Amino acid sequence: MSSRTERLLSGLRELVAIESVSPDAARADAVDRASRWAAARIRRAGGDVSVSKVERGRPLVIGEIPASATPRDAPDVLLYGHVDVQPAGPLEMWDSPPFELTRRDGQLYGRGVADDKANVVILLAAVEELVSVHALPVNVRFLIDAEEEVGGESADEWLRNDSRGASAALILDGSVDELTVGIRGMLYGRISVTTGAAEQHSGLYGGAALSAGETLVRATSSLLALDGRLPRPLRRGAAPPSAGEQESWHRLRTGEELLAEAGLRAADTTAAREFHQRTRAEPALTITGMRVGDVSQFSGSIPFEAEATIMLRPVAGQSATAIAAEVERLVRDACPSEASLELKWDLLYDGAAMAPDTPELILAADAIERNIGARPVPLRTGGSLPLFENLCQRGTPVICTGFGVEREANMHGPNERFPEAHLERGVDAIREILVGLGKHR
Ligand SMILES: [Zn+2]
């Protein structure tokens, strides 16, 4: 084994051994240790490190390493990865201890190898190697997150408060076969209805008195999709998929397979066939919770209060605040005027997308294809990533990918794995990308 391979493996072994399970409050120390581990590596490479911590947040490591020559003229590049992981789950499901990096059949096993520790090691190693030969062509700003798995917002918040910006960003937290070029946003809200002052007997008042259950159902049904399409006001602004994007969906697993594997059923007769269009390129609404009356025991009463939580995922081109106003108008119009209705929003994020022919994305796809052997497909994803949206809004090109193979990595499950060969090839690809970004002005 070459000394380079050994160095990469030993770094990853150290990081995997730190049980940085962020959803487990009892392991907050380990999460801190993983952050300190990354901070120490950046310092050793000559970087300036600071740690930002928002209230109740986990440490966010910010490490700055200047370009080897004329840093004042070199572009700034953000590098993002996260050191926290999901819990290992039942130990008996693992073929080797989850927090011991294990090599087996060309794969590296351990909790967090694919999501996201190997990617962090790759980012660090690529920069260290360039620094050691005085060839780092860009000013690097590491953002090493420790709360990605608990939906933390520290990195996003830090970036919003950082006026310097960057000429490009590299988010390594994904799959090697994909370049994420877009995300959906998020509107999370709570609809509450009140239809009276107290519960009353349905035998005495049923038929004449307004009931909270029916009222809530009427109000929320104004938001429902018909034949798979949300009401027009909720679709307004949605950027349609390009021909190239539609073409790329054919290379993915089918909706039938993906739904069946997740134990889900299709929402309507065309939903499985249109799976990728529906989940990546169209807004979606989910009623995520409803509460009315007491279903645990017999009741003959008319409920007077009810509430529902809704999650709406807008796509690029749509404004979350404009959609929020439309939702409010629809539910109010559908709600009987005698009822009181309240709508509160907890989260409002826009979707975002970049053109797949953005030069930085082409550069990254070329470098990954050269080193890994297959070209990543530019895809919009259905999930949300505030950091991505934030960068897109600033006009910063984002290269968002990773070196694990999502469909076989078992991220968040037992026997999480990462192809051993991708460790070195990943470092080579990132070096090429950084060199390319150095020329790209
Ligand atoms: Zn991740």
Structure tokens at 49: 């490190």
* CA of 84 relative to ligand 1 center, distance in Å: 8
- 367 alpha carbon, distance to own chain's centre: 23
* CA of 225 relative to ligand 1 center, distance in Å: 31
| Residue 239 to residue 243: CA distance in whole angstroms | 12
Residues across the chain: 441
Q: Which segments within 249-382 are labelled E, that is strand?
A: 284-292, 301-302, 305-313, 340-349, 352-353, 377-380
CA dihedral 378, 167, 50, 60 (to 10 degrees): -20
Q: How large is the average pLDDT for residues 244-273?
A: 93
Burial bucket for residue 29 (CB in 10 Å: 0-12, 13-18, 19+): exposed
In the sheet that holds 48-52, the strands lie side by side as 48-52, 60-65, 139-145, 76-82, 168-172, 398-401
pLDDT for 369: 98
Q: Out of 58-62, 148-152, 276-280, pick the least confident.
A: 148-152
In the sheet that holds 305-313, the strands lie side by side as 284-292, 305-313, 186-194, 340-349
pLDDT for 331: 98
pLDDT for 244: 85
pLDDT above 70 covers a percentage of the chain that reads 100
- Spatial neighbors of 260 by CB under 8 A, at least 6 apart, are none
| Residue 201 to residue 179: CA distance in whole angstroms | 58
Q: pLDDT, tens digit, for every residue of 349-360?
A: 999 999 989 999
| Residue 52 to residue 30: CA distance in whole angstroms | 17
Q: How large is the average pLDDT for residues 76-81?
A: 98
Q: How large is the average pLDDT for residues 39-44?
A: 97
* CA of 229 relative to ligand 1 center, distance in Å: 31
| H helix and E strand count, the chain | 15, 18
Supply the mean pLDDT for the chain: 95
Q: How large is the average pLDDT for residues 281-295?
A: 96
Q: pLDDT, tens digit, for every residue of 183-228?
A: 999 999 999 999 999 999 999 999 999 999 999 999 999 999 998 9
* CA of 153 relative to ligand 1 center, distance in Å: 14
* CA of 81 relative to ligand 1 center, distance in Å: 8
Q: How large is the average pLDDT for residues 402-427?
A: 95
Q: pLDDT, tens digit, for every residue of 202-213?
A: 999 999 999 999
pLDDT for 441: 56
Query: Residue 116, preceding bond cis, omega within 30 degrees?
Result: yes
Q: How large is the average pLDDT for residues 407-434?
A: 95
Q: Is residue 55 pLDDT above 80, yes or no?
A: no
Q: How large is the average pLDDT for residues 25-38?
A: 96
* CA of 384 relative to ligand 1 center, distance in Å: 12
Q: pLDDT, tens digit, for every residue of 299-330?
A: 999 999 999 999 999 999 999 999 999 999 99
Q: pLDDT, tens digit, for every residue of 387-400?
A: 999 999 999 999 99
pLDDT for 56: 73
pLDDT for 386: 87
Backbone angles phi, psi at 150, to 5 degrees: -115, 25
Nearest to 218 by CA among 120, 144, 292, 168: 292
Q: How large is the average pLDDT for residues 27-40?
A: 96
Enumerate the β-bridge partners of residue 200.
Answer: 302
Q: How large is the average pLDDT for residues 403-420?
A: 93
Q: Is residue 335 pLDDT above 90, yes or no?
A: yes
pLDDT above 90 covers a percentage of the chain that reads 89
Backbone angles phi, psi at 181, to 5 degrees: -110, 0
* CA of 149 relative to ligand 1 center, distance in Å: 7
Q: pLDDT, tens digit, for every residue of 87-146?
A: 999 999 999 999 999 999 999 999 999 999 999 999 999 999 999 999 999 999 999 999
Q: Is residue 260 pLDDT above 70, yes or no?
A: yes
Q: How confident is the model at residue 440 (pLDDT cuts 50, 70, 90)?
A: low
* CA of 243 relative to ligand 1 center, distance in Å: 29
- What pTM does this model have? 0.88
Q: How large is the average pLDDT for residues 375-380?
A: 94
* CA of 292 relative to ligand 1 center, distance in Å: 36
* CA of 381 relative to ligand 1 center, distance in Å: 14
* CA of 147 relative to ligand 1 center, distance in Å: 10
pLDDT for 151: 80
| Residue 109 to residue 105: CA distance in whole angstroms | 10
pLDDT for 242: 85
Structure tokens at 105: 């059949």
* CA of 175 relative to ligand 1 center, distance in Å: 10
**Between residues 96 and 245, the one the model is more confident about:** 96
| Residue 302 to residue 296: CA distance in whole angstroms | 15
